[in-house]
């Protein structure tokens, strides 16, 4: 069963992610003001958990993959944000897409000192959240509503994401959205 699912995901996840990119380009992607889709994903130790957005002041959901260079570049900033603001009500959840064995993902995270919760995503998650490029992150409020969607990880975008989370937690206005074509990667 697992090998069939894995073959399905390796074959169809890139297609679903590309469809998500097209939907995003047409304004049909999950974005600000939309209810956050459910996030019921597997943990690295094999459990399935439903992430609740109502238990924290803000949740940052980050879709990434081990082969994604921009994802790797933004991870230290997300880790620092998690360490600095989790006591203020921030929940960070990484969702790994596209393969890799759990052992490889765990080693990857340990090498980089990443200890915020990471889940294993699949084609359903990519489709529900309309993830077309990696990394893609969502800032979600305590009512489960998307505040902002971030696609890509230029240094300016990462700084903007961090500033937005800080502002949201401090009850201030968010900054101007920084859009960029790169760096972000499509799935192979």
Q: Is the dihedral of CA 123, 126, 129, 132 positive or negative?
A: negative
CATH superfamily, domain 2-169, is: Glutaredoxin (3.40.30.10)
Question: What pLDDT, in 10s, does the model give residues 42-80?
Answer: 778 777 666 788 889 999 999 999 999 999 999 999 999
More confidently predicted of 145 and 4: 145
126-136: per-residue pLDDT in tens?
A: 899 999 899 99
Q: Provide Rg for the chain, Cα atoms.
A: 15
CA 131 → CA 23, 73, 96, 140, distances in Å?
A: 9, 19, 12, 15
**Any idea where the domains of the chain sit in the sequence?**
2-169
Is the pTM for the entire model greater than 0.85? no
pLDDT of 65: 95
């Amino acid at each position: 069963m697992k090998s069939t699912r894995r073959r399905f995901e390796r074959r169809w996840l890139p297609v679903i992610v590309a469809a998500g990119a097209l939907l995003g380009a047409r304004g049909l992607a999950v974005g600000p003001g939309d209810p956050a889709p459910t996030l019921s994903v597997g943990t690295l130790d094999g459990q399935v958990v439903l992430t609740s957005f109502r238990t924290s002041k803000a949740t940052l959901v980050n879709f990434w993959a081990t082969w994604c260079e921009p994802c790797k570049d933004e991870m230290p900033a997300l880790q620092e944000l998690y360490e600095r603001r989790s006591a203020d009500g921030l929940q960070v959840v990484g969702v790994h897409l596209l393969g890799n064995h759990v052992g490889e993902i765990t080693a990857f995270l340990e090498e980089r000192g990443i200890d915020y919760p990471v889940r294993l995503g699949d084609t359903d998650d990519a489709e529900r959240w309309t993830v077309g490029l990696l990394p893609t992150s969502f800032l979600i409020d305590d009512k489960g509503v998307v505040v902002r969607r971030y696609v890509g990880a230029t240094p300016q975008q990462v700084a903007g994401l961090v500033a937005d989370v800080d502002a949201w937690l401090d009850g201030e206005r968010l900054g101007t959205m920084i859009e960029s074509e790169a760096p972000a990667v499509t799935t192979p």
